[in-house]
Amino acid sequence: MEKRLLTKDAFAAALERLAAAKRVLGPVQDGDNVVFGPLEPGRQPALGYRNTRNAPKNALFPHTETLMRFTRTPKGVECAGQGDDPAETVVVVRPCDAQSFLLLDRVFDQPGCRDPYYVGHRERTTVVALACPQPPYAACFCTSVGGDPVPAAPAGVDVLATDLGGGGGEILAEFLTPKGEALLSFFEGQAADGQADARKAQAGEKARAGIRSQVPAREVLPILQKNFDHPFWAGLHGKCLACGTCTYICPTCHCFDISDEAKKDDGVRLRSWDSCMFPLFTKEASGHNPRSSQKERWRQRVMHKFRYIPENFDLVGCVGCGRCVLNCPVNLDIRKIVQDVAKI
């Protein structure tokens, strides 16, 4: 494993060089927001941000993706090929979002049942993670769900960059995998020594201490297993607008819809994000809807993340990024909900 020290400016320049050579998706300033999007050549990455407003799942599991094209022939409508090949991509994300990729992997890349579209994107994607030594949002709770703002050598990350502070703002770049090492030529800097490791460890301790939200994410599993019919669920959803914001900006939500769009003789079959918060999500053609009110839908969201995914994968289905907390228009707060579940 190669480790290098660069100044902050040199690191930003390296990302810009990378963006000139490959497709790079990362934090970019967009008006008042920092969003996860393409780092166009000549554009500065927004390295001073804490986290992007939207989750980076779009890189592996696009908001809308063409599954196949079809065309009308004399014999009927037939498949005529599929969407575009996924491009070689470098994503620049925070550690919680890098952890979300591992959860998506568990869903889309199961042995014997691989999603070819997701796997195609995943294989061509290099993950650069920017550790969070700065005290992050008050809504962050990654340490409650197995995450770490300054991780040692996280799974699924190819290059880990940690801001060690100091005069010019020094970045410690660790090239953890062969995929990461393939980017070495872009990041020119001096070799890092043991002192840099010590500084990183120190930054990590400070960052972990700076995370103020503690959520009993793992502890609620046995409580959720026993309380499917608890009156608690009836009091949860009153102000929910069923807008789906929480699921769309969540880095781990992966529910999708498949729909056809046709114009004259040609058309596409698309996959697009969907949400368990929407009333029609489970409505059957007969009119029957197993989750007929927002109560059942909210319970599903909590159960899926904190009971079903832990039962199936021994992981919490949440990475503690706090986006749903920050962006819910009616201030429904998953941290408080999980804390309240713990009190049942």
Of 181, 283, 327, 340, the one binding other proteins (CB under 8 A) is 283
Find the binding residues for other proteins in span 214-253 (CB under 8 A): 228
Size of interface with other proteins, in residues (CB under 8 A) = 51
Give whichever of 22 and 69 is closer to other proteins, judged by the CB atom. 69
Does 191 participate in binding other proteins (rule CB under 8 A)?
Answer: no
Coil, helix or strand at residue 127: strand
**Minimum distance from CB of 117 to other proteins (Å)?**
8
Find the binding residues for other proteins in span 30-69 (CB under 8 A): 67-68
Does 257 participate in binding other proteins (rule CB under 8 A)?
Answer: yes
H or E segment to which residue 341 belongs: helix 334-342
Of 256, 294, 326, 342, the one binding other proteins (CB under 8 A) is 256
φ, ψ for residue 67 (rounded to 5)? -85, -40
**Angle subtended at Cα 106 by Cα 105 and Cα 111, rounded to the nearest 5 degrees:** 100
**Minimum distance from CB of 271 to other proteins (Å)?**
8
Does 314 participate in binding other proteins (rule CB under 8 A)?
Answer: no
**Angle subtended at Cα 316 by Cα 124 and Cα 136, rounded to the nearest 5 degrees:** 80
H or E segment to which residue 130 belongs: strand 125-130
- Alpha helix stretches (DSSP H) within 172-217: 178-181, 194-210
**Taking contact as CB under 8 A, which single stretch among the options 49-57, 181-189, 190-198, 257-265 is the one that binds other proteins?**
257-265
Burial 56-73 (b: 16+ CB within 10 A, else e): bbbbbbbeebbbeebeee
Of 31, 42, 75, 314, the one binding other proteins (CB under 8 A) is 75
**Minimum distance from CB of 55 to other proteins (Å)?**
16
Does 296 participate in binding other proteins (rule CB under 8 A)?
Answer: yes
Rounded-to-integer distance, Cα 317 and Cα 343, Å: 20
Of 55, 300, 316, 341, the one binding other proteins (CB under 8 A) is 300
CA 119 vs. chain centroid, Å, equals 16
Of 44, 64, 110, 185, the one binding other proteins (CB under 8 A) is 110
Does 185 participate in binding other proteins (rule CB under 8 A)?
Answer: no
- Return the structure tokens found at 43: 């554009």
**Minimum distance from CB of 123 to other proteins (Å)?**
10
Of 1, 209, 241, 262, the one binding other proteins (CB under 8 A) is 262
Asked if residue 18 lies in contact with residue 24, where contact means CB atoms within 8 angstroms, the answer is yes
Burial class (CB in 10 A: 0-12, 13-18, 19+), 76: exposed
Of 38, 44, 308, 331, the one binding other proteins (CB under 8 A) is 308
Rounded-to-integer distance, Cα 269 and Cα 261, Å: 6
**Minimum distance from CB of 342 to other proteins (Å)?**
20
**Minimum distance from CB of 341 to other proteins (Å)?**
15
Rounded-to-integer distance, Cα 300 and Cα 294, Å: 10
Residues forming the site for other proteins (CB under 8 A): 67-68, 70, 75-82, 85-86, 107-108, 110, 113-117, 120, 228, 254-260, 262, 267, 269, 274, 276, 281-286, 290-291, 296, 300, 303-304, 307-308, 311-312
